[in-house]
Amino acid sequence: MKSICLYLGTLLLVMTGCDPNAAHQAYQNPVTKQQQPQVVKKKVEEKVIKPEWKAVKIPSALEGLTLSDAGKFAGEKYELDQVKMELDQFPTGLTERAYYERLLALLAEDYREYIYYFENFDEKMKQTILKDENKEQVDEIEDQLQKELDKMDDDMIRLADREDDRLQKAVDRLDDRLDLPSISGWVDEREALLMKYSNQKELFYAEHLNALEQKLEDENEHSQN
């Protein structure tokens, strides 16, 4: 028995370079033939689903306008001092169109949600009012849709007016050191087109709402007689 122990001890010393400490560690932590496989954790990328309105097709009435994500200082992110600092860093020698696009990248609002609403309102109106369970409540539903329509129109016009005011202030500051005679007119034209589009859509669908409501009321009255 002693000879067996002596043999094993000698074998461990030989395997670890005759280092007693290493032999002790080898005895305490023997190397197994099968190592445990390392689990590699892969980061799962979350798929970001964008709202449908972000992919809305721009209608012909607004073709030519830059309509995309809101600018760096749009909406509640507007900080006049920060905007001034950005404007003062604009380089010289660019075309007016290039300066205009830079201004929009800073201050333009995002109108796509409103455009999506208006472009799909007709379908929404029909699906809502023409449901069998809703035909007895045409007046209430029509009133609700009209209020919603009016609010979207008011909000879009208010947004366009605010954007125009901020862009014109930026143009005035740039004019102190750059010659930009056309940009102010482009800004006003942009506002006019956005307001016209919103107003026309509101009036158009308001008439359709009234016509559809009257049609359904006539049908209900006829069916009761």
Pure H helices in the chain:
2-15, 20-28, 80-88, 96-107, 112-119, 121-129, 138-174, 183-224
Given pLDDT bands bounded at 50, 70 and 90, which one contains residue 191? very high
Cβ atoms of residues 17 and 10 within 8 Å:
no
Side chain identity, residue 24:
H
**Closest by CA position to 115, among listed 183, 198, 188, 186:** 198
Query: Which carries the bigger pLDDT value, residue 25 or residue 136?
Result: 136
Res 8: pLDDT: 44
Cβ atoms of residues 121 and 56 within 8 Å:
no
* Cα–Cα distance measured from residue 14 to residue 33, given in angstroms and rounded to the nearest whole number: 20
CA 5 to chain centre: 74
Res 2: pLDDT: 45
Q: How far apart are the first and last CA of the chain?
A: 114
3-class DSSP state of 76? helix
State mean pLDDT over 86-109. 96
Res 134: pLDDT: 59
Evaluate if residue 1 carries a pLDDT over 60.
no
Res 14: pLDDT: 42
